[in-house]
Amino acid sequence: MQQIIYFFIKNKNFLLFALLFLVSFILTLQSHSYHNSKLISSTNFFSGKIYNVTSNITEYFDLKQQNKILLEQNSMLLKFQANSNNPILQKALDSTLSKNFKFTGARVINNVYSKTNNHITIDKGHNDSLEIDMGVITSKGLVGIVNKTSGKYARIQSVLNTKSQINAQLKKSKHFGFLTWNTQNPQVVQLTEIPKLAPIAIGDTIITGGNSSIFPKGVLVGSVANYTLQNNDSYTVDVRLFNDMTNLSHVYVIKNKNKQEIIQLQLSDDAE
C-alpha cells in the first residue's frame, strides 16, 4: 500500500498532465464532429479486428471439434472391426476409406423424437450419392435408416419409430431379434424375438446383426436395461441406447458398395 502511495506522489505531475490532456481531448471531440467521426472510425476498425480475431478463434475451436469427430469415427470403425467375426468385414474396416463401405458425414438440421413415428433431417441428399435404405449412425452407435431423399437433403426414419425393424443381436451369445420401439422412452428401444434359451444379463451389449445390406455387423446399439419372457416362448429386451437420440448434431450415412450384388443374389435364391 505504501508503495502505491509513493508511486502517486513521485509521479503526481505526470498523472496530473495525463488527466488534463484526457479531459481536453474529450472536450475537443465533443466540439469537433470531424475528430469525433475519426475516433468512431478508428473504434470500428479496431472492433472489426477484434471480431475477426474472435471469428478465427471460433473457427479454430470448431476445427478441433471436427477433428474430435473424425477421431471418434476412426474409433467407431475400430469397434466395428473388433465386434465382427467376419474376416471380410474386418479387412474392409482396416481404414476409414473402407473397401466395402463408404461413410458420408452429414449435419442434423431437424430432429423429431417426441412423436410416435419420428424422423431426422440431414443436410446431404442424392446429390451426395445418398439413397433410400442406407443406414445412419454416429460415433456412438445406431440412429436409423434413410427413407426419403431430395437433391440436398435426406430424411431418416429414426430408430424411435414404430415402423422401424432393424436386425440386431446380443453380442455375447449372438442370438438375434428385431429392434422396435414402444414409444414410451426416447432412450430405450425393444429387442424382440430373442429365444428363451438365450443367456442374457443386465448390461449385455447389443449390436447390429449384419443380416442385411444396410448395416455392417457390429454397429453398437445399446445395453440391456431389462428383459421379460413373453408367452413362455421368447424374450423382449429393453435396450438403453448408447446414442442420446434427443441430442444429435452429426451423423454418418453408410453406403454398402456391394448392396446391389447382395440383393441380386438374394433375389436369385428366392426365385429357385
Q: What is the pLDDT of residues 66-90, one digit of tens each?
A: 666 665 556 555 555 555 554 544 5
Contact 202, 102 (CB under 8 A): no
- Residue 41 within a domain: no
Which is it for strands 101-111 and 166-170: parallel, antiparallel or unpaired? unpaired
Q: How many CA atoms lie within 13 A of 201 on its CB side?
A: 5
Matching residue, cell 414410451: 184
* Number of neighbours of residue 90 by Cβ within 10 angstroms: 15
- Residue 24 within a domain: no
- Residue 184 within a domain: yes
Contact 224, 184 (CB under 8 A): no
* Number of neighbours of residue 160 by Cβ within 10 angstroms: 28
Q: Which residues contact 59 (CB under 8 A, 6 or more apart)?
A: none
How many domains in the chain? 1
- Residue 126 within a domain: yes
Q: What is the pLDDT of residues 172-214, one digit of tens each?
A: 999 999 999 999 999 999 999 999 999 999 999 999 988 888 9
Contact 138, 251 (CB under 8 A): yes
| CATH value at residue 136 | 2.40.10.340
Instruction: Read off φ and ψ for residue 13, nearest 5 degrees.
Output: -65, -45
User: For residue 239, what are the β-bridge partners?
Assistant: 189, 224
Q: What is the pLDDT of residues 135-175, one digit of tens each?
A: 999 988 999 999 999 999 999 999 999 999 999 999 999 99
Tell me the residue range of the domain where 255 lies. Answer: 98-271
- Residue 2 within a domain: no
Query: What mean pLDDT is reported for the chain?
Result: 78
User: For residue 251, what are the β-bridge partners?
Assistant: 106
- Residue 214 within a domain: yes
Query: In what helix (H) or strand (E) does residue 110 lie, and over which residues does it extend?
Result: strand 101-111
- Residue 61 within a domain: no
What local confidence, expressed as pLDDT, does residue 166 receive? 96
* 89 CB burial (10 A radius; 0-12, 13-18, 19+): buried
Q: Look up residue 156 and give its amino acid.
A: I
- Residue 92 within a domain: no
* Confidence grade of residue 113 (pLDDT, cut at 50, 70, 90): very high
Task: Return the SS3 of 142.
Answer: strand
Query: What predicted TM-score, i.e. pTM, was given to this entire model?
Result: 0.66
* Distance between CA atoms of residues 125 and 127, nearest Å: 5
What local confidence, expressed as pLDDT, does residue 148 receive? 94
Closest CA to 180 of 190, 170, 188, 193: 190
